[in-house]
Amino acid sequence: MKHHKLFHWIVRLVCLVGAVVLALGGPVPSLLARVLPGLSPLLVLAHSLAGRSWYVGLFWGLPPLAVLLAAVWKGRIFCRWVCPAGTLFATAAACKGRKRFMKVRLGGVVFWMIVAGAIIGFPLWISMDPLSSFNRLTPLFRGTYAAASLIPGLIVPIFLLLGVFQPFIWCFHFCPLGYLFDLCHFKAPKPVWKRDETRRHIVLGLALGVPLALAAKKLAPLAPSGPALKPILPPGAADPQSFASLCSRCYACVNVCPTRVIKVKMPLGKRLGQFFHPELDTERTYCEEHCNQCSQVCPAGAIRPLTLDQKRSRQIGRANVIKKACLAWEDGEHCMVCQEFCPYFAIEASESPAGIPRPVVKPEVCRGCGACQSECPAVRMGKAIIVEGIEKQGQAIDA
């Protein structure tokens, strides 16, 4: 018995360390950043429902399928042996807290809310998935300066703390993935569908899920402060609305981005459904020409895979010159750094009467990578060329 317990903990710790390594990258290829959040069958279910298609390929589809089958066989076996969040909560449970301040089990409600949202194409609460929640902690340790990721990253630490007082409060009272495992566990002594509360969970989940998802879709920004720019989404993202809802906030893309241009911003001036989704901040760095890593690691299908060539011609935003701030337009300097850095020749020179070249953006060629903005040397009024996201990503023309 003792040996069994020791073995159990060794497996759990190995899985926990493995999860941390996968999430942080480092010794393993960055493509593996999607493995941990991609293990969740809940994610695959929600996104397939919302996207009305099976979005995940055979290779990446097998692990979550295996997890699901394991649940049919043994219920919450994944929670007890593999789930890194589960392992953390188990360590908190070792404190043997005895409080029971949370009595109702909401995991079912959350699960059915996700399903309801997914059916109307907006799986809003998918960010409650524990594997994405665990992964969400990692941008902090990668030095991505995504301070805003702290807030959505708090789920695991908060429940770790609560778990000290009431053991496994997350796992049994909130976790939608754990509920899915219970739901699949046909051979359980008392399967979920035979429980009295199940019907209540479904009704409550649907009743709350549909209006909340609709509201999040439609609700105006909370604090529209000034002319807010449209967010620049990672290349391969669908339209802003779908992206915001499909994204499980696992931040795998934030983690793998070699230039750290993908960040998490504070939700000022954003719709409820757009809170804390990853977006590009091209003020200091930019999206590289020969890179498609973010599009390869999204486990949720919010960013669809692009080949390097497809990525190279993908239009994710558009640059605008602010003439008043521009060294060439306003100060008559020989600058054109924006043109120099543009890998796509999207900036043309319009010569002044005095022979000074001044930048003009060709909107159909501009990809919105932000190389121009990040390298613009103007300081008097801030950057003189600024990239804004576009409503729908498309194909740019080669100059």
Residue 190 or residue 334: which is nearer to other proteins going by CB? 334
Structure tokens, 54? 């099976």
Residue 331 or residue 364: which is nearer to other proteins going by CB? 331
> At closest approach, how far in Å is the CB of 377 from other proteins?
3
CA dihedral 244, 248, 250, 252 (to 10 degrees): -60
Q: How many helices (H) and strands (E) does the chain have?
A: 19, 6
Q: What angle is formed at CA 379 by the lines to CA 375 and CA 385, rounded to 5 degrees? A: 50
> At closest approach, how far in Å is the CB of 348 from other proteins?
10
Q: Say if CB 369 and CB 377 are below 8 A apart.
A: no
Q: How far is Cα 253 from Cα 260, in angstroms, rounded to an integer?
A: 9
Q: Say if CB 31 and CB 257 are below 8 A apart.
A: no
Q: Say if CB 389 and CB 229 are below 8 A apart.
A: yes
In this structure, how many other beta carbons lie within 10 angstroms of the beta carbon of residue 305?
15
> At closest approach, how far in Å is the CB of 26 from other proteins?
15
Q: Say if CB 304 and CB 236 are below 8 A apart.
A: yes
Residue 27 or residue 227: which is nearer to other proteins going by CB? 27
Name the burial class of residue 394, with classes exposed (0-12), middle (13-18) and buried (19+) by CB atoms within 10 angstroms of its CB.
Answer: exposed
> Which residue blocks in 196-251 are alpha helix, DSSP H?
197-218, 240-246
> At closest approach, how far in Å is the CB of 61 from other proteins?
32
Maximal C-alpha separation, the chain: 88
> At closest approach, how far in Å is the CB of 136 from other proteins?
26
Q: How far is Cα 213 from Cα 49, in angstroms, rounded to an integer?
A: 14
Q: Which helix (H) or strand (E) holds 48?
A: helix 41-51
Residue 39 or residue 378: which is nearer to other proteins going by CB? 378
Residue 243 or residue 344: which is nearer to other proteins going by CB? 344
> At closest approach, how far in Å is the CB of 335 from other proteins?
5
Q: How far is Cα 155 from Cα 134, in angstroms, rounded to an integer?
A: 8
Residue 245 or residue 255: which is nearer to other proteins going by CB? 255
Q: Say if CB 292 and CB 309 are below 8 A apart.
A: no
> At closest approach, how far in Å is the CB of 336 from other proteins?
4
> At closest approach, how far in Å is the CB of 340 from other proteins?
5
> At closest approach, how far in Å is the CB of 357 from other proteins?
7
Residue 95 or residue 399: which is nearer to other proteins going by CB? 399
In this structure, how many other beta carbons lie within 10 angstroms of the beta carbon of residue 12?
20
Residue 76 or residue 358: which is nearer to other proteins going by CB? 358
Residue 204 or residue 336: which is nearer to other proteins going by CB? 336
> At closest approach, how far in Å is the CB of 375 from other proteins?
8
Q: What are phi and psi of 314, to 5 degrees?
A: -75, 130
Residue 244 or residue 297: which is nearer to other proteins going by CB? 297
Which residues of the shown chain bind other proteins in the complex (CB under 8 A)?
Answer: 258-259, 288-291, 327, 331, 333-337, 339-343, 345, 349, 357, 375, 377-379
